[in-house]
Each structure stands twice: as C-alpha cells, then as structure tokens.
Structure 1
C-alpha cells in the first residue's frame, strides 16, 4: 500500500522534520512593539453607518447630476441666444 502525502512513496522518518514544522522554524520573529488585540466590532452599527454613507453618496451623486444637466441646459440656451450677435 502506498504512503500518502510524500513523493516517491518513502515514509517519513521520525528524525526528519516535516515540511510544516520547517516552515514554522523559518518564520521571522515579529519586529517592533506587540499591539493589543483589536476591539470587538458591532457589525449592526457598522452596517448602519455603511448604509448611511451609501445613501449620502447616492444623494450627492443625484444632486451633482441634476446640477450638471442644468448647466448643460443653460449653456445651450446661452449659445442659442448669442448665436447671431457676433
């Protein structure tokens, strides 16, 4: 029966470190101060803020779109008024 998880079918020797153990040994130690764990997050409050921000963005976008359309309308009206006066 073939062994699993090793190439070539050779079983792992007990004195040979496994690949995941070698990776842990090679990991660099953290530099600088150790930070405290982050505060718990109130996801309900987070979602309320996210929805409010999205509504504000939609309102702002609609206002800017209306302002742009009004400016385009006024520019074209001005051009029509001044077209033959040069």
Structure 2
C-alpha cells in the first residue's frame, strides 16, 4: 500500500510541469509579418570587423586626447 502512495504523489508532481508546458504551447502566436530567418554569420569576418572598429576607436580617442591637451596648453598660455 505504501508503494501506491508514492506513485500517486510522484504522478501529481509530474503533472505540474506538464501543465506549464501546455500553457506555453497554447500561448497566442505573435502578430505581425513573419520574417525569414537571418542569413548565416561568418564569425571570422565579424571578429575582424569588430577588431578593426575597436582599433579605429582607439586611434580616434588618442587623436582627440592629443587635440584636447594642445588646446589646454594654448588656453593656459593665454590666461
């Protein structure tokens, strides 16, 4: 008889996740146009572009820092 109690308790616990899965499956479909899947990504090319963008940003930041320092020198000389 004890085994029946365990089975009943286990099946009740197993039903709960199934109910959640059913609720997820019954969610309404999103409204709007259906888009095609995105094209495959070449991560090598993506990483090269990312590195190039980061290098460009570093060079730009260094140039702006140099320009700012030059302006500060000129301003201090005027005052």
**TM > 0.5:** yes
Per the TM alignment, residue 31 of structure 1 is displaced from its structure 2 partner at its CA by 1.1
Q: 2: distance between equivalents of 1:69 and 1:22?
A: 62
Per the TM alignment, residue 75 of structure 1 is displaced from its structure 2 partner at its CA by 0.6
Q: Is 1:75 matched with 2:71?
A: no
| Other structure's SS at 2:11 match | coil
Rg (Cα) greater in structure = 1
| Other structure's SS at 1:49 match | helix
| Other structure's SS at 1:53 match | helix
Q: 1: distance between equivalents of 2:23 and 2:34?
A: 24
The size of the alignment, in residue pairs, is 70
5+ residue gaps, structure 1: 4-8, 13-17, 80-86
After superposing on structure 2, the runs of 4+ consecutive aligned residues of structure 1 that deviate more than 6 Å are none
CA RMSD of aligned residues (A): 2.3
Q: TM-score, normalised by structure 2?
A: 0.75
| Residues 5-58 of structure 1: CA deviation (Å, up to 9, x unaligned) | xxxx3624xxxxx22123211x11121221111100011001011000000000
The answer to which structure, 1 or 2, has the higher relative contact order (CA under 8 A, 6+ apart) is 1
Match of 1:54 in 2: 54
